[in-house]
A and B are shown apart, each in its own frame.
Chain A
Amino acid sequence: MLVAAALGLLALSSPAVARPDPGVAPGPFSRPGPGITSGTGREVAEPAYISLLFSRSNWQAVSGADCSIVAPGARTLEQNAQDLADRGLSATALVVINRTAAADRTCFRGYTSQASWADLAHLRDSYGWSANSQGTAYRDMTVMTSDAERFAESAASLAPLAAHGFPRAWGSFAFANNKQESLSQAFVGRYFGFVRRYDSLRNSRAEATAAPYLMRTWSLNGGRCHNRALACYDMPVLNDRRSANVDLVRTYLNPEPGQWSVLQAYRLVEGTHGVIGDTYAWDCSSADWRDRWTSQPEISCRNSYLEMVDGRNLEAVVTDPTTIALAWGRVPVDYLGWPRP
C-alpha cells in the first residue's frame, strides 16, 4: 500500500524528465521497454532499435516427403526462442495464416514443419515473442488487380492474428517472396506500420515513417562456405548462395541511435548432418564461421546466428516492429483497433 502510495506520489510529483519505464515484468517472459520517454513529448534520446524476425514461422528444418526426416541438429523455433531468451531477447514470428494449424505442426513441402497457433501462443506466453503478418495465403501481390484481393491477402490476416492473441500484428507486413511494387506497398501501408523489403541497409526513422514505409530487412542466408580452400566453397547450392558473412551482419546489427536494424532468419541448425551434395545437410562444426556451410539458403548455422546477435549494439533496444511503429508514430491510417471480424 505504501509502495503503491509512494509510486502514486512519484507519479504526481515527479518533474517532467526522462525516466525509464519501470515495467520490465518479472513474469514468465522478459519484455524490454520500448525506449526512453520524456515529459516534454518526443523521446529526447532516440534509441537504436533491432528487430529479430523468423520468416514464415518455420518450426524446424526437416526432410522427406512427410517431413519425417529430422536431423538431430535441426533446431526448433522454441529452441531458438530459448537461445534468445537466455540473452534477454525476444523475436517476432512472421505468420502465414493458411499455413498455421490450430495445434498440429504441419509439413510444408518436405523441407519444414510449420508452427501451430498453439506453438505461437506458447512462444508469446513463455518467451515474449510477438507475431507479424506474412499474409493470408502467401500470394504474390504484384499480380493482383483489385483491392479486394489485396485486402484478403494482407489486412484480412490481422483478424485471425488478433483472434489468436496477437492484436499487434499490424506492425509490419512481409510480402510473399519479397515480391512487391508500388500498388501493393501503398495498399498494405494503409493497414500496417511497415512493409518488409530485403536490404542490407539499416532503417532510419525519417525514411521508415515516409511512404512506402519500408522496413529494410537483412534476410539471413545459408549456403556455401567462405573458405576457398574447402570443397564447400564451390559446392552446389540453390541460386549459388553463400552463407551470410557473420562480420558484415554483426556490423549491420550495430545501429546508431535513430536507426533500426532488422534481421530475419529461417531455420537454424547445429553440428553436422549429411555431406556436400545432399539437399538436407550442413556442417556448422568449425569454430570459424568461414568454414561453415549448409545445403539450403534458408538453413543457417545456429552458432553463426548467435555470433551475429551477440555482436550487436548492446545499447540497442531489441523489440518488435509494432513497438517501433508506435514509438516512431507510424500508425497506419486505416488502423481501426481490434479485434475485427
Chain B
Amino acid sequence: MKAPRRSAVLAVLLMVLGLLAGALIPGGSASAAPAPSVSALAAPSGPLKGGARVRVTGSGFVGVRRVYFGAALGTAVNVLSPSTLEVTTPARGAGVVPVKVVTAAGASLPSSSSRYTYVAPPAITGVSPASGGLAGGTAVLVTGMRFVGVTGVRFGARAATSWTLTSPTTLVAIAPPGASAGGIDVRVITHSGWSAPTPADVYTYAAPSPTLTSIAPDAGPLVGGGTVTISGAGFVGATSVTFGESPSAFEVVDDTTISATVPPAAAPGDFSVVVTSPSGASGAVTYTYLGAAPELGAVSPNIGPTAGGNRITISGSGFRDVQGVVFDDLEASEVTVESPTRLSALAPPHAAGPVTVRVRTAYGESGPSTYTYADVPPARALATGSHHSCLLDEDGGVRCWGWNAHGQLGDGSTTSRSAPVPVLGLESGVQAIAAGGATTCALRADATVLCWGWNAFGQLGVGDSLDRTSPEPVLGLGAARAISVGSGHSCAILLSGAVACWGWNYSGQLGTGDRADAAAPTAVVGLVEAVSAIAAGDEHTCAVTQAGSVWCWGAGQMGQLGDGARGESSLPRPVPAMSGEVTALTAGVMFTCAVRSGQSWCWGRNAAGQLGDGTRDERAVPVAVAGLSAASGITAGGSTCALAGVAYCWGANTFGRLGDGTDTSRTLPVAVIGLPPGVAALSAGAEHACALTQGGALFCWGANSQGQLGDGTLAPRLSAVRVGG
C-alpha cells in the first residue's frame, strides 16, 4: 500500500499548519471553534473620545480577529480566555453601538448585552440639601445630567456612604462624615469620567449646634447693661443670644467664647440664656436678675402731727416686694404699694422732731428721707398775704408760712417755708394779725403794732423803705385796736376810732387827701365817724363805721369804691348802698365785699366772677352775692370766700383756689370741699385761701408754689388740706 502515504503526509502537513496558525493567532485554535458571543460588558459606557479599556465577557473568543464598537475598530485586543477579552474603545460620537467580536469562526451577534454607550462625563446641577452635619448620614439628592454608568459618588475626597441611581438625572447619595466644617464638591463618577466641580455641587458640612457650659457672672441687676462671658462650643456663626425672650448684643470671641451685654428685665428671677446658630439652638444656662434695693425720692407731706395717722405718699423706685415703711424704728401702717415708684402709708405716732423714713423691700432698704413730726397749736386767728399765710395761736404766738422773699414770714430769713415757722419775738402776747401783699403786721395786747416783710413803699411804717425779716414797731402810731394790710399799704384803727394808714399812696389809698407815700402812719382825713373795721385792698381802702356804714378811698377805676363813680379818690367817700348794718368788710384786688344784715354784697372788678352775682360785669355799686344767706364773714383776695354756715368761694379758680375740687372759675358761690364742720373764719390770698375751725385747726387750699398752704409740700390743692400735715 504505497498511495495512502500521500494522504497521511498531507494530514500531518495540515496539522502542522494548523498548529502554526494557532501559534500565530493567539488564542486561536487549530480546532474548529464555535462563533463568538458577547454576554456582558464590564463597563457598558464610556467617553466619546474612546480610550476606555473594556472587558468583554462571552464565549468563543478563540482566534479573535477584531473587536468592533459599531463600525469602529477597537484596539489593543487582549484575549484573556475563550470567554474574556479586553479591548480599548475607539472614539465615537455619543450614542449606543453594538460590540462585535470577530473570530475565524465568525462574528458575535448583537444583543442587549453587547450594547456600548458612548456618553460625555456627568454634570451636577444641584445638591439638596446643600448642607448637613459633620457626622454625615444626610441623604442628599444629586441632580444633573448623564448619570450613565455611574461608578461612584464622592463628597470631597470621601466616597458617599452609599448611593442610589434613580434616573439618568438624579441619584441619592448618603453623605459620609465630614473631615471639617466647610464646603466640598460632590462629584459623580461614571465610566465617562467625573463631573466637573461647579458651585452647584457644593455641599457644606455645618458646624455642630452650639453647646453652653457656663455664663459669668451669672447674676446682675434688673437694669442689665453689664457684660457676661458665655463659654461653650460651636459659637462660630452664632446668630443670636437671648436672655429669656430678650435678645442681647453679643460678640463671638472664638468658637468657645461669647461676650454678651445683659438686656434689662422687667422683674427679678432666673432666665434661660440660649445661643442659636444655623446649626441649631444650644441648651440653656441660667442667668439671675436680682431685684434692686429701693430708692426714696420724696415723702409728701414731709411734716405731720405727733399723733400720726395721716397718710403720706412716698415716691421713688424699686418698690417691689415691699416689706414695710419705717419712721425711725416704727413701722408705718396700711402700706399701699401703688406702683414700683409710688406707695403710701399711715404715719405712726411719734414724738415731735425729725425722723428718717425708709422703705424696706425683699431686695434691701432705701436710703433715708426726713419727715418732721410737729403739732400746729390750735389757732384763734389767721391772715393771708398774697402768697403767704399766718396763724395766731391760743398763746398769742404767731407763726407764718409760704412766700418769704421779703421776710414776710418774720423768721429772720428770706427762705420760703412750706410749714409754719415761729415769728421771731412774737411767741406770745399778740392780739391780732393781718397780712397783705408781702407784708405782715401784728397787734399786741398792749395796743402796739409791729410789721415785717416788704417795705418798698414804707408800708411797714418804720420810717424807711427797707424790708424787714423780723417784726419792728410801727413808728408813732399810738394805741391801736385793729389792723389791716393791703398790697402796698397798711392801716390801723386807733383806740379813738380814727384811722391811720401808711405805705403806698399812688391812688390816694392812704386817705390823706394827697398822694405822697408815707413811711410812717398818717391820719385818714374825712371819716366823720369812728371806725369799727378797716380793710386794705390792693390799691384802695375801705372802712366800716360804728354806725355800720362803709366808706372807701383810693383807686376806683373798676368801681371798687362802690359809690357809682370810676376814678381815684384820696379822701374817703361813702358807699350809699352800704349805709348801716354792715357787719363785715373786705377789700380784694380791685373789688370790695361786705356783709350787711347777713347778705353778702360785692362791687368793683368782676372779670372772673369774683362779685358772685352770676355775671362777669364790672359793678360800680354793690350787687348781692347770689345764693348765700346768713353770712357771718367774708374775705377777698384774688377771689372771694364767705362763711355762711359752711365756707363758700367764687371767682377765678386757678390752682383750685376755690376749694371745690376743680379749677373752673365760678361766678356763683361753691362750697369748699374737705373742711370739717365748725369753720370759724376765712382768709383769702391772691391765689389761695385758708380756713380756721372753732377747734383751732387750720386748713388751706389753692396755689402752693411757695408753700403757702402749709402742708409741707409745694403741690397745689383743689380742696382743703390740713396745715401742718
Contact = CB atoms under 8 A, between A and B. Distances in A.
Interface of A: 4-5, 7-9, 11-12, 16, 21-28, 31, 33-43, 163-165, 167-168, 326-327, 329, 331, 333, 335-341
B566 A23 contact: no
B528 A8 contact: yes
B514 A27 contact: yes
Contacts of A163: 405-406, 454, 456
B311 interface: no
Interface stretch (B193-201, B215-223, B267-275, B571-579): B571-579
Contacts of B563: 39
A340 B387 contact: yes
B515 A337 contact: no
B706 interface: yes
Nearest to B456: A165
Contacts of A34: 557, 567-568
* Range for the number of chain B residues in contact with chain A: 35 or more
B570 A21 contact: yes
B569 A21 contact: yes
B202 interface: no
A327 B493 CA distance: 31
B119 interface: no
A195 B411 CA distance: 40
**Which of B457, B526, B569, B589 has most A Cβ within 10 Å?**
B526
B686 A337 contact: yes
Nearest to B467: A163
Interface in B339-387: 386-387
Given A25-B515, A326-B558, A329-B618, A167 B705 contact: no
For the complex of A and B, 4 pairs with smallest distance between CB atoms: A37-B567, A337-B589, A326-B557, A27-B516
Contact of A42 (B386, B566, B652): B566
A338 B525 CA distance: 26
A341 B437 contact: no
Contact of B557 (A12, A27, A327): A327
B215 to A, nearest CB: 49
A22 B565 contact: no
Given A168-B506, A326-B558, A26 B514 contact: yes
Contacts of A326: 555, 557-558
Contact of B515 (A27, A36, A339): A27
Contact of B387 (A8, A42, A341): A341
Contacts of A21: 567-570
B526 A43 contact: no
Given A4-B525, A37-B565, A331 B574 contact: no
A264 B567 CA distance: 26
B438 interface: yes
B566 A37 contact: yes
Contacts of B508: 23
Contacts of B723: none
Contacts of A5: 526, 528
A8 B456 contact: no
B114 interface: no
B687 interface: yes
Nearest to B556: A37
B61 interface: no
Contacts of A16: 564-565
Contact of B525 (A7, A35, A39, A40): A7
A40 B637 CA distance: 27
A277 to B, nearest CB: 47
Given A33-B568, A338-B386, A41 B620 contact: yes
Nearest to B589: A337
Contacts of B590: 331, 335, 337
Contacts, number: 135
Contacts of B605: 331
Contacts of A31: 506, 515
A329 B528 contact: no
Tell me whether chain A's interface is mostly helix, strand or loop, or mixed. Answer: loop
B687 A336 contact: yes
Contacts of B699: none
A42 B571 CA distance: 20
B287 interface: no
A4 B638 contact: no
A340 to B, nearest CB: 7
Given A22-B513, A338-B538, A12 B574 contact: yes
B687 A341 contact: no
Given A7-B571, A336-B686, A38 B438 contact: no
Contacts of B557: 34, 326-327, 329
Given A25-B515, A341-B706, A41 B488 contact: no
Interface in B429-465: 437-438, 454, 456-457, 465
Contacts of B526: 4-5, 7-8, 11
A256 B444 CA distance: 55
A15 to B, nearest CB: 12
B487 interface: yes
B571 A22 contact: yes
Given A4-B526, A339-B438, 5 more contacts: A25-B515, A37-B567, A165-B465, A337-B638, A339-B437
B456 A164 contact: yes
A165 B506 CA distance: 11
A326 B557 CA distance: 6
B403 interface: yes
B290 interface: no
A305 to B, nearest CB: 27
25 contacts: A4-B525, A4-B526, A7-B526, A8-B572, A11-B526, A22-B513, A23-B514, A23-B569, A24-B515, A25-B514, A31-B506, A35-B567, A37-B567, A39-B564, A40-B564, A43-B566, A163-B456, A165-B456, A327-B567, A336-B686, A337-B588, A338-B437, A339-B454, A339-B487, A341-B403
Contacts of B514: 23, 25-27
Contacts of A22: 513, 570-571
A326 B561 CA distance: 14
B424 interface: no
B488 A167 contact: yes
B527 interface: yes
Given A339-B386, A339-B438, A339-B454, A167 B487 contact: yes
B456 A23 contact: no
B516 A28 contact: yes
Nearest to A40: B564
A331 B566 CA distance: 14
Contacts of B465: 165
B83 to A, nearest CB: 106
Candidate in A11, A42, A340 with the most chain B CB atoms within 10 angstroms: A11
B15 interface: no
Nearest to A16: B564
B589 A11 contact: no
B557 to A, nearest CB: 4
